[in-house]
Amino acid sequence: MRLDKFLSHHGVGSRKDVKALVKKKVITVNGNTVTKADMKLNPETDTVMVQDEVIHFEPYVYIMLNKPAGVVSSTQDKDRTVIDIVSGFEHYDLHPVGRLDKDTEGLLILTNDGQFTHDVLSPKKHVNKTYFAKIDGIVSDETVKQFQHGVTLDDGYHTMPGLLTIMNVNSAEQTSEVELIIQEGKFHQVKRMFEAVGMKVTYLKRIKMGNLALDATLSTGDYKKLSPEEIKCVRN
């Protein structure tokens, strides 16, 4: 890999910026001062330093975002996207791992690791996605049983089983609060599953992916890099 590409990829600056740093003689590779910005290096074995700071090779990055409502889970859209929220990672080609509806909040992972995304989203991998939802309607034990067997959506698709837990029921207001665990991610799936049993989702928030829970310290719209341990939790 070219040095200027490596450094721009890791947020040091543009290729023009790297050339300027080379002229200042503040970049070294394996202890030797760099004289050409386009020199070739092995990012996995060579030690690159800029102004005495080691630039660690990081081919992939994983970001946890507490997605706010009103933001689109896409890389490009006429409306504000989740990519627009995250700053400081512009040199990575980030994409969301799955989608949350525009009005849905909560845990969303952004990465440039396509294999990771495939592993998390494939129903065959059985990665749980856990949601908290407020429901217009009374969720009963019968509803729980229906979800255990999967429900048939409006297009005829029969979902995989969902683990539905009743958190609270307000009989006077005819509303419920629930937690739902599913392993699929069909379009508007959670909302359509409740519509299939005659109810409506009025609030939806993803709180967990695999064994990775949404960081309670992240306010809506905040984000952080995931540690290697946290990344492993996503795959259960």
Active site residues: 101
- Tokens, residue 3: 């040095």
d(C-alpha 142, C-alpha 32), whole Å: 71
- Tokens, residue 136: 């217009």
